[in-house]
């Protein structure tokens, strides 16, 4: 989804500035998570911090981001990308 894509791009921009020692880590973890979800869409847990039970989240442990998503009948829709240390819930 466009909002999630913008959040991922913003995180990548910040990551390159502040994590120059591990520049590829964020990209690698996002790609790995997307690959996991394409094979196992129910891998994440129901997101407790958003309304509704149709939004799930998967923790990218190495970079400490959550990938929020929905499983529809024919695809996985990424709806938000949120750092685990941020307060509140992501805009969905």
**What's the mean pLDDT in 18-23?**
80
In a domain, 22, yes or no: yes
More confident residue, 45 or 22: 45
Q: Checking phi first, is residue 75 left (phi over 0); if not, alpha (psi -120 to 50) or beta?
A: beta
Q: Checking phi first, is residue 46 left (phi over 0); if not, alpha (psi -120 to 50) or beta?
A: beta
The total number of structural domains in the chain stands at 1
Domain residue limits at 32: 2-83
- Any idea what the CATH number is for the domain that residue 37 is in? 3.30.2310.20
Please report the pLDDT score of residue 30 as a whole number: 95
Please report the pLDDT score of residue 17 as a whole number: 86
């Amino acid at each position: 989804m466009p909002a999630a894509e913008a959040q991922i791009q913003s995180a990548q921009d910040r990551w390159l500035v502040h994590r120059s020692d591990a520049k590829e880590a964020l990209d690698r973890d996002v790609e790995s998570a997307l690959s996991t979800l394409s094979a196992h869409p129910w891998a994440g847990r129901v997101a407790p911090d958003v309304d509704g039970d149709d939004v799930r989240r998967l923790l990218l442990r190495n970079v400490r981001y959550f990938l929020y998503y929905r499983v529809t009948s024919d695809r996985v829709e990424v709806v938000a990308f949120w750092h685990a240390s941020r307060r509140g819930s992501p805009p969905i």
